[in-house]
Protein backbone atom coordinates (compact mmCIF):
# COMPACT_ATOMS: atom_id res chain seq x y z
CA UNK A 1 0.00 0.00 0.00
CA UNK A 2 2.94 2.33 0.43
CA UNK A 3 3.42 2.39 -3.32
CA UNK A 4 -0.17 3.64 -3.74
CA UNK A 5 0.46 6.49 -1.30
CA UNK A 6 3.70 7.38 -3.13
CA UNK A 7 1.94 7.26 -6.50
CA UNK A 8 -0.88 9.51 -5.26
CA UNK A 9 1.63 11.98 -3.81
CA UNK A 10 3.60 12.00 -7.08
CA UNK A 11 0.44 12.67 -9.11
CA UNK A 12 -0.56 15.47 -6.73
CA UNK A 13 2.87 17.11 -7.00
CA UNK A 14 2.83 16.78 -10.81
CA UNK A 15 -0.64 18.39 -10.95
CA UNK A 16 0.47 21.29 -8.76
CA UNK A 17 3.57 21.86 -10.89
CA UNK A 18 1.61 21.72 -14.17
CA UNK A 19 -1.34 23.82 -12.97
CA UNK A 20 0.55 26.50 -11.09
CA UNK A 21 4.25 26.49 -11.95
CA UNK A 22 5.40 25.11 -15.30
CA UNK A 23 3.43 23.86 -18.26
CA UNK A 24 4.73 22.05 -21.33
CA UNK A 25 3.73 23.75 -24.61
CA UNK A 26 4.27 22.82 -28.25
CA UNK A 27 5.17 25.68 -30.60
CA UNK A 28 2.99 25.63 -33.71
CA UNK A 29 4.07 27.64 -36.71
CA UNK A 30 7.10 29.62 -37.80
CA UNK A 31 6.34 33.08 -36.41
CA UNK A 32 9.03 32.88 -33.70
CA UNK A 33 11.86 31.50 -35.85
CA UNK A 34 14.78 31.31 -35.31
CA UNK A 35 14.25 31.67 -31.53
CA UNK A 36 11.62 28.91 -31.51
CA UNK A 37 10.84 26.52 -34.35
CA UNK A 38 7.68 24.73 -35.45
CA UNK A 39 6.88 21.73 -33.21
CA UNK A 40 9.52 22.67 -30.63
CA UNK A 41 8.54 21.71 -27.09
CA UNK A 42 9.05 24.25 -24.32
CA UNK A 43 8.13 24.83 -20.71
CA UNK A 44 6.38 28.04 -19.77
CA UNK A 45 6.52 29.57 -16.30
CA UNK A 46 2.96 30.32 -15.20
CA UNK A 47 3.78 31.00 -11.56
CA UNK A 48 5.70 34.27 -11.75
CA UNK A 49 3.10 36.13 -13.85
CA UNK A 50 0.06 34.63 -12.11
CA UNK A 51 1.17 35.58 -8.63
CA UNK A 52 2.88 38.86 -9.50
CA UNK A 53 6.36 37.65 -8.62
CA UNK A 54 7.72 39.20 -11.80
CA UNK A 55 6.40 41.76 -14.23
CA UNK A 56 5.88 41.24 -17.95
CA UNK A 57 8.94 42.93 -19.45
CA UNK A 58 9.99 44.08 -22.89
CA UNK A 59 11.81 41.21 -24.57
CA UNK A 60 9.95 38.43 -22.74
CA UNK A 61 8.63 35.63 -24.94
CA UNK A 62 5.10 35.05 -23.69
CA UNK A 63 2.18 32.71 -24.26
CA UNK A 64 -1.28 34.31 -24.27
CA UNK A 65 -4.87 33.79 -25.33
CA UNK A 66 -5.32 35.26 -28.81
CA UNK A 67 -7.54 38.35 -28.44
CA UNK A 68 -9.52 37.47 -31.60
CA UNK A 69 -10.33 33.92 -30.43
CA UNK A 70 -9.55 33.05 -26.81
CA UNK A 71 -9.72 29.33 -27.55
CA UNK A 72 -6.30 29.72 -29.24
CA UNK A 73 -2.93 30.42 -27.66
CA UNK A 74 -0.17 32.42 -29.34
CA UNK A 75 3.49 32.85 -28.48
CA UNK A 76 5.19 36.17 -29.26
CA UNK A 77 7.80 38.58 -27.93
CA UNK A 78 6.85 41.62 -25.83
CA UNK A 79 7.92 44.77 -27.69
CA UNK A 80 5.88 47.49 -26.01
CA UNK A 81 4.77 47.71 -22.39
CA UNK A 82 2.03 49.99 -21.00
CA UNK A 83 2.78 53.64 -21.75
CA UNK A 84 5.35 52.93 -24.47
CA UNK A 85 5.14 54.66 -27.82
CA UNK A 86 5.63 52.04 -30.57
CA UNK A 87 6.18 52.82 -34.24
CA UNK A 88 7.37 50.62 -37.09
CA UNK A 89 8.88 52.27 -40.14
CA UNK A 90 9.91 50.07 -43.04
CA UNK A 91 10.26 47.11 -40.69
CA UNK A 92 12.41 49.02 -38.19
CA UNK A 93 10.87 49.09 -34.71
CA UNK A 94 11.01 52.23 -32.58
CA UNK A 95 10.04 52.22 -28.91
CA UNK A 96 9.77 55.63 -27.27
CA UNK A 97 11.37 57.17 -30.39
CA UNK A 98 14.51 55.01 -30.18
CA UNK A 99 15.21 52.15 -32.57
CA UNK A 100 14.92 48.83 -30.81
CA UNK A 101 17.99 46.60 -31.12
CA UNK A 102 16.64 43.21 -32.18
CA UNK A 103 19.48 40.69 -32.49
CA UNK A 104 16.88 37.89 -32.37
CA UNK A 105 15.48 38.93 -35.79
CA UNK A 106 17.84 37.95 -38.63
CA UNK A 107 17.75 40.14 -41.74
CA UNK A 108 16.16 37.39 -43.84
CA UNK A 109 13.16 37.29 -41.43
CA UNK A 110 12.50 41.04 -41.49
CA UNK A 111 9.85 42.71 -43.60
CA UNK A 112 9.15 46.31 -44.61
CA UNK A 113 5.80 46.75 -42.88
CA UNK A 114 5.11 50.13 -41.27
CA UNK A 115 2.78 50.85 -38.34
CA UNK A 116 1.66 54.32 -37.32
CA UNK A 117 2.83 55.44 -33.88
CA UNK A 118 0.66 54.20 -31.05
CA UNK A 119 0.79 54.43 -27.29
CA UNK A 120 0.36 51.08 -25.58
CA UNK A 121 -2.66 51.41 -23.26
CA UNK A 122 -2.51 50.71 -19.52
CA UNK A 123 -2.75 46.96 -18.88
CA UNK A 124 -1.92 46.06 -22.51
CA UNK A 125 1.17 44.90 -24.42
CA UNK A 126 2.39 45.19 -28.01
CA UNK A 127 3.74 41.84 -29.27
CA UNK A 128 5.62 40.73 -32.38
CA UNK A 129 6.85 37.42 -33.73
CA UNK A 130 10.57 37.15 -34.46
CA UNK A 131 9.91 35.94 -38.03
CA UNK A 132 8.28 39.22 -39.06
CA UNK A 133 7.41 38.16 -42.61
CA UNK A 134 5.30 35.22 -41.34
CA UNK A 135 3.90 36.51 -38.05
CA UNK A 136 0.31 37.38 -37.21
CA UNK A 137 0.81 39.83 -34.34
CA UNK A 138 0.01 43.27 -32.86
CA UNK A 139 0.70 44.91 -36.23
CA UNK A 140 -2.50 43.25 -37.46
CA UNK A 141 -4.85 42.89 -34.50
CA UNK A 142 -3.58 45.31 -31.85
CA UNK A 143 -2.38 44.95 -28.29
CA UNK A 144 -2.85 42.08 -25.84
CA UNK A 145 -4.51 42.58 -22.46
CA UNK A 146 -2.38 41.61 -19.45
CA UNK A 147 -5.15 39.26 -18.32
CA UNK A 148 -4.66 37.19 -21.51
CA UNK A 149 -0.94 36.59 -20.86
CA UNK A 150 -0.53 33.39 -18.86
CA UNK A 151 3.07 32.29 -19.21
CA UNK A 152 6.65 33.12 -20.06
CA UNK A 153 8.67 30.77 -22.25
CA UNK A 154 11.65 29.64 -20.18
CA UNK A 155 13.10 26.32 -21.34
CA UNK A 156 13.18 24.25 -24.52
CA UNK A 157 13.35 20.49 -24.08
CA UNK A 158 12.63 19.06 -27.56
CA UNK A 159 14.21 18.53 -29.99
CA UNK A 160 17.32 17.76 -27.97
CA UNK A 161 19.60 19.88 -30.17
CA UNK A 162 17.60 22.95 -28.99
CA UNK A 163 17.75 21.99 -25.30
CA UNK A 164 18.26 25.05 -23.11
CA UNK A 165 16.82 28.34 -21.95
CA UNK A 166 14.59 30.37 -24.26
CA UNK A 167 16.04 33.77 -25.10
How many Cα atoms within 13 Å fall on the side-chain side of residue 102?
Answer: 27
What is the spatial distance between Cα 136 and Cα 4, in angstroms, rounded to a whole number?
Answer: 48
Beta strands in the chain (DSSP E): 22-26, 41-45, 61-65, 73-80, 85-89, 92-95, 98-99, 115-119, 124-128, 144-145, 149-158, 164-165
- Which DSSP category does 131 fall into? S
Determine which helix (DSSP H) or strand (DSSP E) holds 3, and give its type and residue range.
Answer: helix 2-16
Burial of 136 (0-12, 13-18, 19+ CB in 10 A): middle
User: Which residues are known to be catalytic?
Assistant: 31, 76
Amino acid sequence: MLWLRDLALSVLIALIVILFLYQPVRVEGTSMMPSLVDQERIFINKFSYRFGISEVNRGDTVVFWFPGDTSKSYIKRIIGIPGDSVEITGGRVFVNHEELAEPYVPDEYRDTVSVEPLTVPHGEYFVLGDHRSSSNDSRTWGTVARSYIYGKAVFSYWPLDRLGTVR
